[in-house]
Structure 1
């Protein structure tokens, strides 16, 4: 099958997600770009970015990870949604995306122990994890230099985390106008930290030890958000095989299929009781954080596939992970055609191809991405990429490239 034949696959067939009808299964997967303002408010740069990628789309955009609170951890110029002002800024973006007949989900984020120690200190926040373990020697050194020490979250801290997710979810739906809420439970951030074992979560209370206890925090938040926004507006992202920021992947105890199989079975149990989530987003074993994993390396490590996810969870899935990196997209074609409930998430190629859906549909060449521009705080490498056929090159010194974020509200 050639690239031009992609339009003959399930990729461009309509699908219902939650209560929303999509016309394509190409999905914008969450991609941190750090173009919010210095006080974590969505900017005019983000409005253009998401607006451009929702044109001639008709599918689902999942935003970059978005902080539920300051205590949830901070990174420079990543957006938040803990205040009315932030939610109103996001509303400008969701309105633009909806004008283009595309759906949009916000990914809710708590960094836990991998938050910036420097920003935590500057904002008078605690550096919290399930247990008092640093993610690495480098993170411990950064904390020491910032004059802050990691602490194990207390039960009161955990209760506060739950409340923050409820507040953020309400703002996201009622004020910002998002179609869906996606809980970030992947890649070594807070929920994933609780799911891990030795060296990450060594709690001896109801949130540590057994699989049931380690999954308790995530499932409690899921249940709260079902009550808050409804299951049909809720999703969660998981990365069973990732070895990033302390996540054990295939080296975990128990094995990822056992650990995440339990989480998925609990979500499927809720679905059978009338509370099926809109979708579950799953990271493929070909990707570990921002790094690709070769087939040879995966085989050597004993990494399996995510087929077990589909065996347990009977709802819609978003599968993401280097699908566009191989000529002809064989893995994409195989997975999207395997059933009638799979969306395909793409991330890096969306950064350099604002018209990605149309390029895939019409068999047009993809523009390579530039990783060096991913986390800049200017417009360069953000809104300076053009649609297919527009050969305009915007240099780093161009006035368009030098634009900086301005708050939308």
Structure 2
């Protein structure tokens, strides 16, 4: 079975081609990884590769409290405890570096502690948003334009240095879902007239420079996650502009000899409707961008079943898959796929993320049963 054959990705060999996608679970305490998070990731170490939950390169006012960071020694120690556990269990683990850009909020406790404005490529607010942990559940605000993007690039590099110390096997840039890398790429959120905006080449400059910076730390063991169809967090350009932008970015990133791309295809559940119109730019991600990937490996995400993944890998269209939601409710995704067992654990929706009513953070987190084999 193609999905269960080892594969070399960058400088490491994965034992199978089923990856655990990055999943925001919000069990960090004051941005610091907890022991419970080690248990969670170790439970899922049979994955070919685990991508850690999105991890902030600097303190920001995210939509969710209890997101982890990686900017100081205590963060490094917390993550090292987790990567050590995953490695002891025979797994491999990438960190995912994250900056939320314009989808932060100045009234969020984390943003207040940061002491800086909500930054973005341009002073353009995203539509929507709902900060449930802030009184009144406010939406997105108009951000402050970043004066010098190199400052943010240096934050990513410093975070990569910390991730290296923390024992991650590599790092993935969160270039999807409307966060800061997406914001630079998208002409609707980036109206700059300097070298960081305007043309396709200028809008792609930021993600490419971040890739170069973190590659100085991790070498080939660097990846990027992209969602060209957009939709989420008010992302999306006209089709031709989308094709031009992402084909250029992917082609240029592939020349940097990175480990892999994770492409997120269109998924209706992540699309958003504004003024009666769906936001996403629906198109075939594989057909559109596969030809531009000549060196790196390609993994597909968004409602990909093991059966579909097996067919796509066998046909040579992709190198592997990432599974998201099913990894929340099934620590043994690989074993279930191998033995043909159903993904039948019922999601504990109220406890997927922490909130004021959750007192035992293991509930809906580490308490899902494995199947009988």
Confirm or deny a common fold (TM above 0.5). Answer: yes
Structure 1 SS opposite 2:322: strand
Q: Partners in 2 of 1:187 and 1:268 — Cα distance?
A: 21
Q: Which residue of 1 aligns with 2:354?
A: 376
What residue is the counterpart of 2:5 in the other structure? 13
Q: Which structure would you say has the larger RCO, counting Cα contacts within 8 Å and 6 or more residues apart?
A: 1
Aligned-partner SS, 1:263: helix
How much does 1:84 deviate?
Answer: 1.1
List, as ranges, runs of 4+ consecutive aligned residues in structure 1 with deviation greater than 6 Å: 142-148
Other-structure match for 1:394 = none
List alignment gaps of at least 5 residues for structure 1: 1-7, 271-275, 391-409
* SS class of match (2:79): helix
Answer yes or no: is the 8 Å Cα contact 2:3–2:313 preserved in 1: yes
Between 217-226 and 251-260, report the one with greater CA deviation: 251-260
Structure-2 residue corresponding to 1:236? 224
**Structure 1: distance between partners of 2:281 and 2:59:** 37
CA distance in 1, matches of 2:324, 2:217: 29
CA deviation string 1:160-191 (max 9, x = no partner) = 21111111101101x20000110101110000
Q: Deviations over 1:111-138 (max 9, x none)?
A: 0000133222354221111111111265
| Distance apart, 1:100 and its partner CA | 1.4
Query: How many angstroms apart in 2 are the aligned matches of 1:372 and 1:263?
Result: 38
Matched, 1:34 2:40: no
Aligned to 1:178: 168
Cα deviation, 1:319-367, whole Å, max 9, x if unaligned, reads 111113xxxx553233222218511100111111111111110111212
* Partner in structure 2 of residue 194 of structure 1: 184
Contact in 2 for aligned 1:58/1:101 (Cα 8 Å): no
2:99 and 2:180 in contact (8 A); partners too? yes
Q: 2:38 aligns with which of 36, 47, 59?
A: 47
Q: Distance in 2 between matches of 1:44 and 1:136?
A: 36
Instruction: Give the one of 47, 65, 71 matched to 1:82.
Output: 71
Show the counterpart of 1:398. none
RMSD: 2.9
Q: Which runs of 5+ in 2 are unaligned?
A: 356-360
Question: Does the residue aligned with 2:255 lie in a helix, a strand or coil?
Answer: helix
Q: Deviations along 1:76-110, whole A, 9 cap, x unmatched?
A: 10100111110111001101100111110001000
Contact 2:125 2:142 in 1 (8 A): no
TM-score with structure 1 setting the length: 0.81
The more displaced of 335-344 and 21-30 is: 335-344
- Map of 2:265 onto structure 1: 284
